[in-house]
Amino acid sequence: MSAGCCDADDDALVALRDRQGAVLWIVLGINAVLFVVEFGVGWWARSTALLADSLDMLGDAFVYAFSLWVLHRGARWRARAALAKGVVQLVFGLVVLSQAMWRALDGTPPAADAMALMGLVALAGNTWSFALLWRHRTDDINMTSTWLCSRNDLIANLAVLVAAAAVWQLESVWPDVIVGVAIAVLFLRTARDVIRNARNELARTDEELTHAKA
């Protein structure tokens, strides 16, 4: 009776991981494609906000790859992956801040129409990713950190659209720079939260391992 229950639990966990894996492969593909397209458009349009958002896509692609790698591993590996995701977010936040400073000094307004069009495309792709990840957002620390990144994408996409409208209206570089900095701050705040949660999870698993050896 007990063994049968354990077998059923194991089967349910395997089925859950398989569903998570299918979702992660889809959102990984979405973000990889959007990164390539948005980075190219952002560079051509001279937009800090688009470049920042494209780096967010690249960071998310790494996040989803990490998540797939630890999908069938234990809690400690999932916590390590979450920690790695936080570090990636931290690095990209610092890169975007540097880019925003450079654009502010340059002073050339970006192409607002290209920003708006690319922002709408990115918003559509990230809305799809967000919808796919929604049902798995509370599965475990691995999927929670993944969902948080997807949520941030939507916020960044909306901010890009606001920046595009402001650049078009004001013919100024500053709305683009301000949104780029805001996205960088979002990177850094998410990095802080994910790293903190991952460290807490690692401490908890360390404590469980110590008790198990005692």
Nearest to 51 by CA among 185, 184, 194: 184
Q: Cα(122)–Cα(160) distance, rounded to whole angstroms?
A: 10
**Of residues 63 and 184, more confidently modeled:** 184
49 CB neighbour count, 10 Å cutoff:
35
Tokens for 91, please give them.
Answer: 């690095």
> What was the pLDDT predicted at 70?
67
pTM of the model: 0.71
Q: Mention the CATH class of domain 2-213.
A: mainly alpha
Average pLDDT, the chain: 81
Beta carbons of 183 and 49 less than 8 angstroms apart: yes
- The predicted-structure confidence for 71-126, as pLDDT tens digits, reads as follows 666 667 777 777 877 888 788 888 888 888 888 888 888 899 999 999 999 999 99
Q: Counting Cβ atoms within 10 Å, is residue 7 exposed (0-12), middle (13-18) or buried (19+)?
A: exposed
Lowest mean per-residue pLDDT among 51-55, 59-63, 122-126, 186-190:
59-63
| Residues 6 or more apart in contact with residue 94 via CB below 8 angstroms | 184, 188
- The predicted-structure confidence for 4-13, as pLDDT tens digits, reads as follows 544 444 555 5
